[in-house]
Chain A
């Protein structure tokens, strides 16, 4: 959907992909990578992630407006991958939090080191005993409480790491599959995503010096609360078009002959128009292409040669890489696969 002319801004931006260097980029270089949507798209593309202009715009605005990104889409369209590529582009740390039901503060943000706290308590208890006063111990409880909840006993989990004030550069925080967490966790995230701070009752409020680049992903197994989405820029990542997907396969599986690559992508694209329980994502396309590259007789075929053919028997044998439901495989295997294959040729 994205045949977009370069636009009036093209001359001003660094539209050409910056050469990939192993030395760390200067902050001006990093800044340039987020200077405009095309510049960002180019920076992502140079690291193997192809985006259309809509996604480039959303990501660009999120960076500029310092808002979290919220990606929804079918599994395997590259939501998670985008976060790690963003971390590469801005040469920063990727902090990942995978969500699950029952995920709580202790695993997501911070936890006190209870064994050490208990040990400290015990040690403290013994000293006044020697001085001979249990009442004294009770009197000292308040100051003890203060000592117990100090930085040394704090265990930092992903969310707290992400707003660590001592980091010199903002990290990318990936909150993966937020739909798997429950509502209680979502409401906790509100403070973090709105103000980029975490309040620890015993310590006070910790605030990020550099706002992290936050990416949330959801497979949509349930609706995420509006209050959370409101703080983010939302983007639905769709299956890519033929050209984009071909480009992705070209970059990921260079070993496969070009003609075969085209057949593979055409077949998957055709398959996605079918009524299946679970459509193959881009990840599946890449897996399948890779598998085909390993199949004897296909890998060595010269590009454009007769060996670039994809026969129904091979498709049947490798269908498990594309389709993950028995019902779907049963439906496609055999005559139907051959028919689709002929159609997509």
Chain B
């Protein structure tokens, strides 16, 4: 069946087509599609089976061999039209943000990146070694919003040591174990064969334990500006250490940045991430964004008992009913929802913001994230999430063992006035078992 390729080269297309194949594959690679030599080869091979003079056939063959994710189709179509000329099929696809130089990026993170680019020339060393203990201690409790860039750098360095150990869940896979609940027959037979047929010990297997996946939804809108910078660095660290992390950021729109955060160098990673963001100058529409998450990503990333981390101050310009509905669906799918609110560390803050109030009934843990200390506490909390979603108390009622009340340290600096009292009152019935 190779005569078709032969016919192609007979028409003088052989060499040109070869160039096209390689060139097009390269163009796709430059646009960020995961294309290697194997894919290019497959495409070249496929061209041998089709009529290279029919544009549609070349298009379909290229698509079958070069595209491996549905999301890449848009970029692929665009580039195919550009590369092989002719009209683009259907309506012109919207440009991915990274291909649109016109777009003005006004996010907290972008301004941070600009700042960072200048600062990198002369990095100031914070006296972190000399006056060690006291300075370090101070930094632990300093609100991120009040930190100078140099202090933020120091915090970022300190954060690198922070580990998030997520709780485990039982997977369905079995591994060898001395005290397993099932016999390991393959092993027993093998051992017996080695010992002349005598079964001397019973090897066992048990279910393997796995870390739960972590899904992060971070608010990077204007009101979160001071926190977004440092929190994204934190998320970069988490992604690097914990392989099963999916990260999304939102403002008026939801963007997945998991891929960008997987880049090893933090500055490069955040730089790439910043390029993905759309314009967030508008308000925050948490409800819309969580809804988009539910429709587009939840099915894929919330399997296997994921823990969801939402980082936001709860300022929502959207419809609160929308947010409530989205939170309800999220709560049903996720193993646990942890909401981190930097304002919770402030004196006199009560979660009365419309959005926050709408979301609160569906949250399992409501914690502050405003200083280094609170991040350590988050790590501790995540390691202690109960293995079961529902705890059954003595009266037989189901509860999720929630901790809606701010952690003690969040209150330490604040007068014990009305901080958290609103939530405390409304959730006292559900709250139990806080150590």
Q: Which residues of A contact B (CB under 8 A)?
A: 1, 4, 7-9, 37, 53-54, 57-58, 60-62, 64-65, 67, 70, 72, 100-102, 104, 106, 112, 114, 117-118, 121-122, 124-125, 134, 137-138, 140-141, 144-145, 148, 182, 184, 219-223, 226, 229-230, 233-236, 275, 277, 327
Contacts and interface: CB of A to CB of B under 8 A. Distances in A.
Nearest to B54: A7
B54 A8 contact: yes
A221 B299 contact: yes
B67 A221 contact: no
B131 interface: no
Contacts of B223: none
B89 interface: yes
B228 to A, nearest CB: 26
Interface string B39-70: 10010011001110110110011011101111
Given A72-B70, A140-B196, A220-B299, 9 more contacts: A53-B56, A58-B64, A64-B49, A65-B46, A114-B185, A118-B192, A144-B196, A226-B68, A229-B68
Contacts of A61: 46, 49-50, 61, 64-65
B329 interface: yes
Nearest to B196: A137
Contacts of A138: 195-196
A51 to B, nearest CB: 12
Contacts of B50: 57, 61
Contact of B68 (A112, A114, A184, A234): A234
B173 interface: yes
Contact of A141 (B1, B90, B193): B193
26 contacts: A1-B89, A4-B56, A7-B56, A54-B64, A57-B50, A57-B63, A57-B64, A58-B64, A61-B50, A61-B64, A100-B172, A102-B171, A106-B186, A112-B189, A121-B197, A124-B197, A125-B196, A138-B195, A141-B193, A141-B196, A145-B193, A223-B300, A230-B36, A230-B39, A233-B65, A236-B70
A5 B45 CA distance: 24
A122 B194 CA distance: 13
Interface residues of B, number: 51
Contact of B64 (A104, A134, A145, A233): A233
Nearest to A233: B64
Contacts of A106: 186
Contacts of B34: 226
A57 B61 contact: yes
A185 B51 CA distance: 38
A57 B61 CA distance: 7
B204 interface: no
Given A7-B54, A101-B172, A184-B173, A60 B49 contact: yes
A101 B60 contact: no
Contacts of B411: none
Contacts of B32: none
A70 B67 CA distance: 11
B51 A236 contact: no
A230 B39 CA distance: 7
Contact of B189 (A53, A117, A125): A117
A148 B189 contact: yes
A7 B173 contact: no
Shortest beta-carbon contacts, A-B, top 10: A102-B172, A137-B196, A125-B197, A57-B60, A121-B197, A58-B64, A114-B185, A101-B172, A102-B173, A236-B70
A141 B191 CA distance: 10
B57 A7 contact: yes
Contacts, number: 131
Contacts of A124: 197
B63 to A, nearest CB: 7
A114 B189 contact: yes
Given A114-B186, A137-B196, A137-B197, A53 B60 contact: yes
B195 A114 contact: no
Interface string B211-234: 000000000000000000000000
Contacts of A54: 60, 63-64
B293 to A, nearest CB: 13
Given A7-B51, A275-B295, A57 B57 contact: yes
Contacts of B299: 219-221
Interface in B351-394: none
A112 B184 CA distance: 12
A44 B56 CA distance: 21
Contacts of A223: 300
B303 interface: yes
A280 to B, nearest CB: 15
A222 B199 CA distance: 42
Interface string B196-210: 111100000000000
Nearest to A124: B197
B193 A121 contact: yes
Given A7-B54, A65-B49, A235 B64 contact: yes
A145 B197 CA distance: 10
B51 A8 contact: yes
A57 B50 CA distance: 9
B142 interface: no
B38 interface: yes
A37 to B, nearest CB: 8
Contacts of A67: 42
B259 to A, nearest CB: 11
Contacts of A102: 171-174
B197 A182 contact: no
Contacts of A101: 171-173, 304
A275 B325 CA distance: 13
Contacts of A184: 173
B188 interface: yes
A60 B51 CA distance: 13
B194 A141 contact: yes
B112 to A, nearest CB: 29
B71 to A, nearest CB: 10
B195 A141 contact: yes
B301 interface: yes
A337 B65 CA distance: 41
Contacts of A57: 50, 57, 60-61, 63-64
B173 A125 contact: no
A234 B197 contact: no
A104 B176 CA distance: 14
Nearest to A231: B38
Nearest to A70: B68
B165 to A, nearest CB: 20
Nearest to A226: B34
Nearest to B56: A4
B73 interface: yes
